[in-house]
Each structure stands twice: as C-alpha cells, then as structure tokens.
Amino acid sequence: MTFTLTVHDRIADIGREAWDPCASPTGDPFVSFDFLHACEASLSAAPRQGWSPRHLALRDESQTVLGVMPLYLKGNSQGEYVFDHSWADAYERAGGRYYPKLLGAVPFTPATGTRFLSHPNADHATVREALLQGALTLVERLGVSSLHVNFPTRDDWTAMAQGGLLPRQDMQFVWRNNGYRTFDDFLAALSSNRRKTIRRERRDALAGLDIRVLTGTEIEEAHWDAFFAFYMDTGSRKWGRPYLTRDFFTRVGATMSDRIALVMAFRDDTPIAGALNFIGRDALYGRQWGALEDVPFLHFELCYYQAIDFAIARGLSRVEAGAQGEHKIARGYLPSPVYSAHFIADPALREPVARYLDGEGPAVEAEIAALTEAQSPYRNG
C-alpha cells in the first residue's frame, strides 16, 4: 500500500472529521481535536509562545486519513514537563543550536497517551512506524536538532526505543481504584493513622464551604471567569505567567463540557477555589487548580479527595494527578513510571545524553520502589 504523509501548521487544516476517528478510540480527551484546537485557536499553544504546529497526517491511496500525530516545532522547552534544559544549555555552550526542536506531545499536559493516533481500521504498528519516520524525516528537512516524544504509552515507548530513539523514564503519582464502592472503602484500605489524617484534613477543608462538582451544562461562563482568576493567581505566584489564555477555557467549555469535572469551593455562594479535571474513558486527569483564600488542606480536598470520590462514583480505574508532588503518596497516589523518547541528530550531543539516560533510568526505577516501600499509606503495601 502507498501512503502519503502531509505536514499541517493548523490542526483545523486536517479537520475534526479526519482527526477524531483516529483519536476517539483512545478515550483520551487530550488528543481529541477539540482539546488541541482549543490550545491553538486560543493562542495558548501558538508560535509566539514557542509552539508552532507541524501536525502529521497519514493517508492511503484513497486519501483516507489512517493516522495523525500532534507535532510542534518548539522554540523553547516550556510547558512540556519533560526537562531537557540542561541538554540545551550544554549543546549551546558547545556552539550548537538546540532550538528549534520537534516535539510530539500535548501542550501543557503531562498525561500518558498514544502520540501516534491510528484509525481503528488501520494497523497501529504500521501507522506508528510511518508517523515516526515522517517526524524523523522532518527533523532532517528542517535542519533542527532533535525530536522528542513525551508521555507516550509504554508500548509505543518500547517500539521507539527499538527503533533507535533514546528512552527516558520519570515518575508521576497515580491513584488506582481497587474496586472501591465508596470513599470509606478506600479509607479502609489505608493504615489507621492515614485514615484519621485524611478524615481530619477533609473536615478542616470543608468547614464553612460548599463544594460542588460541575460537569456538562452545569458549567457556566461565570464559573470559568472564577476559575481563570484562581488559575492566574496561583500561576503568577508559583510559576510566572500561566500558559493558558482565558479563551482556552471558554473553548473547552463549549466543546468538551461532558468530559470536564470542575470542582469548585464556595463561601456564601462566592467561589474561592477550584480544580479542573478532564474525564477519560477509564481515568480522571487532574490539571489546573487555584484559590483566592488560603484554607488549610483545601488543595488536598479539591485536587485529590474530590477526584477520588468522582472516580469511584463513575467507576473509573485511576486518577492521574499530574506532575511532581511526593505529598500525594500520603493521599493514596502511588509512584508510577512515565516515559519519553528522544532522537538527537548530532552524535556530539546524542552520546553524552545516552550515557546520562543509561544511569537515570535505573535510578528512577529504584526511587519508585523505595518510595512505595517506605511511604505507601496502604495496609498491604
């Protein structure tokens, strides 16, 4: 079969009708047309922010789209959550030019999912190979330093490593639903001290507040106005200027509200804090949070405990709470591996990075095992 591979600087040029038949089978909200288009159209992931789309579309002889890949020409390493700043610094000190680079990822979203989206009537391995080779060819044609594929599935990661990309591991903290019917069932699986602590944290956080979990048509523009204020305040205090524009939230609210769980805390009907979650087929993904009042344990309640409650009620198998944060372990979120894969064109950089990753991988695995053994809150592990 003859394939045609095209490069697009707007996801709109591929279109929802072609993109989503490849993305929808994954059940992943972040690779959907609506999410990625909202990132672009809201100017959150835009060239001036260092994100220039170079999405790939793979077509057969009849011009049917068999696969797509979210791909960006990056002018920096911001908003990626896989940190290669030291590689860039070393290469540029040696006289190389690290940026721009190519990135296969979802903007601002450290959630695991396939980066090679294949139509259900196509063979995934064949589509993956064609898209990967297309991305590598684009590295050569553009003359850029590298290709990075962030947060792929383990199967895709393994295939890329077998294809010569450098494999990298990191960890995140994931809550897993072991058949719990209620939040109390989850608490019963914990040690006595952790049960008491979580109950106290929830009691203190909820004192005087009304907590609402909004989804679908329950979410109104006024809620997004409030949430954006929380998001900007927290982002400005901790990370500098936040990535997402106000328009992004209106767009996902208009097109993805049934895949959103917006947890809001109200004091006397005035919203004071919120946490944004996206609903996948079998997972809840915690993303942004913010607050205008400093309420003890409210972050834990909105981001972790409400997410667990929601996942149990929906029968979801896990909650992925995003990057970083060993404090999540005490709340039932255990360390789990996440992956990335890297092609670096210049051997002068590739070889030292490969040596570094050879040591980093076993260290991450050892840290996951040590943290689980030493800090797990569960009675049986």
Instruction: Please report the pLDDT score of residue 242 as a whole number.
Output: 85
Check whether residue 141 and residue 206 sit in a common domain: no
Residue-wise pLDDT for 248-283, tens only, equals 999 999 999 999 999 999 999 999 999 999 999 999
Predicted structure pTM score: 0.96
Residues 6+ apart with CB under 8 A from 56: 5, 6, 7, 8, 67, 68, 69, 71, 131, 134, 135, 138
Cβ atoms of 274 and 227 within 8 Å: the answer is yes
Give a yes or no: residue 323 inside a domain.
Answer: no
pLDDT in tens, 109-146: 999 999 999 999 999 999 999 999 999 999 999 999 99
Tally of domains in the chain: 2
Residues 146, 54 share a domain? yes
Domain that holds residue 155: 4-170+338-375
- pLDDT the model gives residue 325: 86
CA neighbours within 13 Å on the CB side: how many for 353?
Answer: 25
**HSE of 231 in the Cβ direction (CA atoms, 13 Å)?**
19
pLDDT number for residue 235: 65
59-64, long-range: CB within 8 Å, 24+ apart, which pairs? 59/3, 59/4, 59/5, 59/6, 60/1, 60/2, 60/3, 60/4, 61/1, 61/2, 63/4, 64/119
Do 24 and 74 share a domain, yes or no?
Answer: yes
Q: How far apart are CA 297 and CA 287, in angstroms?
A: 18
Q: Find the CATH number of the domain harbouring 154.
A: 3.40.630.30
Is residue 59 assigned to a domain?
A: yes
Domain-located, residue 269: yes
Shared domain for 10 and 148, answered yes or no, is yes
Q: 13 and 159: one domain?
A: yes
* Statement to judge: residues 295 and 248 lie in one domain: yes
User: Is there a contact between 219 and 253 (Cβ–Cβ < 8 Å)?
Assistant: yes
Give the pLDDT of residue 238. 59
Q: Is residue 331 part of a domain?
A: no
Is residue 322 in a domain? no
Say if residue 371 is in the same domain as residue 301. no
Q: What is the pLDDT of residue 2?
A: 86
Q: What is the pLDDT of residue 64?
A: 95
Residue numbers of the chain with a pLDDT score lower than 50: none
Residue 321 belongs to a domain? no
In a domain, 332, yes or no: no
Is the peptide bond between 100 and the residue preceding it cis, with omega within 30 degrees of 0? yes
Residue 352 lies in a domain: yes
- The per-residue pLDDT for 381 is 55
Q: Are residues 216 and 311 in the same domain?
A: yes
Residues 198 and 164 in one domain: no
- pLDDT value of residue 239: 54
